[in-house]
Amino acid sequence: MGGRVQRNGVTADGGAPRGVVDLAGDCRVVGGGCVFAGAIQYLVDGFGGAVGVCIWSVNEYRGDDRGVLAGVSGRANGAGTGGCFDDGIVDAIWGVDAAVDPSGAGTGGGVRVVCGDDGDADAAIYGFDDVGECGNWDAVRGGGGVRDGVEFVSGRVLGIVGGTGAGTGYDEGSMAKVMMVASEAAPFAKTGGLADVLGALPAAMVRLGVSASVVIPKYRGLHPPGVELVLENMPVFINHFRHRTDIWRLDRDGVRFYFVEAPWFFDRDGVYSSYGNDYIDNHLRFAVLSLAALGIARQIEHPDILHSHDWQAALAPIYAKSWFAHDPRLAAMKHVFTIHNLGYQGRFEKKILWELGLDGSQFNQEELEYFGDLNLMKGAIVAADFITTVSPTYAREIQTEEHGFGLDGLLRARSGQLTGILNGVDYAEWDPATDRHLPAHFDASNLEGKAECKRALLDALGFGAEAHDRPLIGVVSRFAEQKGFDLLEPIGDELMKEDVTLIALGSGEPHYEWIFHDLTERHHDKVRVWHGYNNGLAHLIEAGSDMFLMPSRYEPCGLNQIYSLKYGTPPVVRATGGLADTIEESTGFKFGENSPAALLSTLRHALQCWRDRAAWQERMRLGMSKDFSWDRSAAEYGALYGRLLGG
């Protein structure tokens, strides 16, 4: 069958057209009928067997039994090839046999939907046997094999409904295009657990089928092999000042990492500070990061969701909902904001409001004002479409006066858009069966290597043979008020009356460093402390210790207690935040009261349990069997993204 396309009154006859049929505007395609795009009328006569026909920018397309654009639908008068819907600005596509009953299993034979330059969202595709490669669909309905053998590239599928093979292997929310913004990401820049999250979670999302990217600053010396300059001289403007940024990209584990180069702000000795002093322009540094991330979103990534982490990225949703509220390339983007530690909120004097280019009208109790200061995290909590934190218990705790740091009222007001998703751990890095830092390996089926790790640890720190038969308590931590080591200070001498050894690794606030130093001086035969950080020693302490101490005042998630479970080292923790969520009475020891007496009592109980070797090994094996992988966390984030996007 031949084809006729009438455009502005001009008809082109002949065989199946090749190339693109441009149907821009608010229009519909109905098989064999008319197309209206403003005042322009087109006729599409059913191109059975069309080769290479594409439709751009169509609000609705309905196939019919005659095989309209059979190169797309593959139905009726010829097995057309190469057809596509290009650019994805399509509200609905109805396949053959699905024009009346959208749940029907259409015999479309395959449709290829490719993201073009804009990649705008499609609303639905109905009744095709196979659907591929991109397109950002809200729903795929019907079809005999919507899932099988299909490669989705850079799109999202929020729901797959009906059809004999529809939905195989895909859950709601499993396909989204997500861009994350943070101040650090492992292995490129790391000062704490935030970097571990940004280094592992996006890769886990990719394994689930999500298109993931990450934006961080390009700090001094950060130039990994393979990184490429993708956007040169992208200006960001703050309060009428123009700041140049260059955008670099590196693909790693399926994740697109973008590095924002702005030497004036990021080419410095430290990430946040130098010689213990925070940079006085940190608010401007991370404003540049946030604006550059929005630029990447507008010009390169076009994400469905911008997921910002902690106060350093808090300005991204704030700017997006104010400066760019009417930007068509950003207005539809949803915002998720994750609180990793509510104790660090990005609080500044009011006078820097103008430096950030923020509207003074936003400085009020409902948005940015906080006891007379500017609070960036508060602004992000208000602006975000959804707020997450890093454990379910912490999500509840931060809504209380005790743990809310002055924001508990706001968080209670947004409790319907607040959830806690437990962080995962990277078992490729933290697994005693494969850990490259250990002198011997072990697992739950064979624990012999753990005893060798304990001997190596004790020998390395100068303990005598008598220590090999004592229970060993390990500590790897920042020495800060949050971590609860002030509870150890008044009970240290009492604890050392027990037959026990204590090894600590960490650094931080001078007072807490002194607590361990003083305990070492007075009980050198039983205590050692390593001031600073040593990654190999951290792994060896996890593997060689008999139990692990984390008496935190509050702990949003915590990772070391999860590492300890995997290494057969039952944790002794205060029941707060992620510690409460990850440690059970059968795998560790918990105390609730924030007091030295409660800590000492729990430690004594753990030491008593250690002497029953058979029961202790059962406790070890049960902890080692727990799964806190990032894949589990990523599945929860995927479901959240799906709900947020309307799935």
Work out the angle between the directed axes of helices 376-383 and 315-322 (0-180°, nearest 10): 50
pLDDT tens string 486-525: 999 999 999 999 999 999 999 888 999 999 999 999 999 9
Could you tell me what percent of the chain has a pLDDT over 70? 73
pLDDT tens string 439-455: 999 999 999 999 999 99
Q: Whole-prediction pTM value?
A: 0.71
Task: Say whether 443 sits in a helix, a strand or coil.
Answer: strand
Question: Is residue 412 scored above 60 in pLDDT?
Answer: yes
pLDDT, residue 28, reads 32
- The average pLDDT across 200-223 equals 96
pLDDT tens string 64-101: 332 223 223 222 222 222 233 333 333 333 332 323 23
Contact status, residue 86 vs residue 56, Cβ threshold 8 Å: yes
605 Cβ contact partners less than 8 Å away, ≥ 6 residues apart: 589
**Alpha-carbon distance values, 137 to 89, 175, 583 (Å):** 10, 9, 40
The angle formed by the CA atoms of residues 563, 564 and 569, to the nearest 5 degrees, is: 160
Contact status, residue 267 vs residue 284, Cβ threshold 8 Å: no
Task: Say whether 95 sits in a helix, a strand or coil.
Answer: coil
Peptide bond before residue 317 is cis, with ω within 30 degrees of 0: no
- The average pLDDT across 283-292 equals 97
> What gap in Å lies between CA 321 and CA 335, rounded to an integer?
9
pLDDT, residue 422, reads 97
Of residues 389 and 76, more confidently modeled: 389
pLDDT, residue 647, reads 61
Contact status, residue 65 vs residue 76, Cβ threshold 8 Å: yes
> What gap in Å lies between CA 105 and CA 585, rounded to an integer?
52
pLDDT tens string 420-432: 999 999 898 999 9
> What gap in Å lies between CA 285 and CA 292, rounded to an integer?
11
pLDDT, residue 239, reads 85
- The average pLDDT across 250-275 equals 95
Own/partner contacts of 396-399, CB < 8 Å, gap of 24 or more, are 396/420, 397/554, 397/576, 397/577, 398/339, 398/342
Question: How does residue 396 score in pLDDT terms, banded at 50, 70 and 90?
Answer: very high
Q: Tell me the residue type at 288.
A: V
pLDDT, residue 144, reads 32
